[in-house]
């Protein structure tokens, strides 16, 4: 993680850009886990480590950039969408 001038750690670099009125956050993710987390296009993408969990809102951000919802639907880093899974 990058370190600020105060010595505090910061998450990986991110950029925000406006596209047709919506704000899109793109985060440069590099997995430092051993073994590395599966890429977002792999069938086992859900096995990646959780970076941020918001159960009160029903979603989690995985290390590979995938946003997973409680119904197992997902948003991929390339703006792809996976529909909810039936349980």
Whole-number percent of the chain with pLDDT over 70 = 66
* CA–CA distance, 27 with 12 (Å, rounded to integer): 7
* CA–CA distance, 36 with 82 (Å, rounded to integer): 22
Question: Has this prediction a pTM greater than 0.95?
Answer: no
**Cβ atoms of 44 and 37 closer than 8 Å:** no
Residue 68's CB is within 10 A of a number of other CB atoms, namely: 20
What's the pLDDT at 74?
94
What's the pLDDT at 51?
94
């Amino acid at each position: 993680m990058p370190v600020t001038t105060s010595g505090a750690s910061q998450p990986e670099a991110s950029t925000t850009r406006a596209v047709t009125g919506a704000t899109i956050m793109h985060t440069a993710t590099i997995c430092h886990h051993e073994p590395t987390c599966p890429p977002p296009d792999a069938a086992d993408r859900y096995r990646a480590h959780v970076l941020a969990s918001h159960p009160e809102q029903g979603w989690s951000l995985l290390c590979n950039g995938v946003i997973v919802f409680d119904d197992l639907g997902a948003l991929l880093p390339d703006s792809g969408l996976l529909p909810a899974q039936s349980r």
